[in-house]
Amino acid sequence: MARLPEPELDSTNSEWWHATSRGVLLIQMCNECGNHQHYPRPFCIGCGSSSLSWTEASGLGTIQSWTLIRRAPYEDLKAPYVLALIDLDENVRLLTHLVGCGSDQIVCEAQVELRWIKAPGANLFQLPVFTIR
């Protein structure tokens, strides 16, 4: 089984990845229309502007959807684990893991809060995960 690949840093996503090493969840904000977005892109998905800045997310949100993964695609991911779509309070959706709760505790619209885990491999990055609050 393959190992989880290291992130490929570029001019669009490097600030996001480096913020994770400090335990900071950044999202992009359009300086023209105020739209928030994630994953990092070189333009606003709301208006097309390339005038973007970074803002720190609150780390709070709700579960939109989730599934229990029983067979991991990489040896670094230990199954079973819960994969979830989280709607952040900033109106941005993140695909991430839920930790610290059993699948019998998870319901859509449950409120969650941010936690961090070390990314697999030798890099310094962390991965944002969520737990039910």
Domains of the chain, earliest start first: 14-132 (2.40.50.840)
| 59 three-class SS | coil
Extract the tokens encoding 79.
């199954």
pLDDT in tens, 14-28: 999 999 999 999 999
127 close to 119: Cβ distance less than 8 angstroms: yes
Does residue 82 have a pLDDT over 70?
yes
- pTM, two decimals, is 0.93
Extract the tokens encoding 123.
């890099």
Strands of 52-56's sheet in order across? 36-37, 26-30, 52-56
Mean pLDDT of the chain: 94
pLDDT in tens, 28-68: 999 999 999 999 999 999 999 999 999 999 999 999 999 99
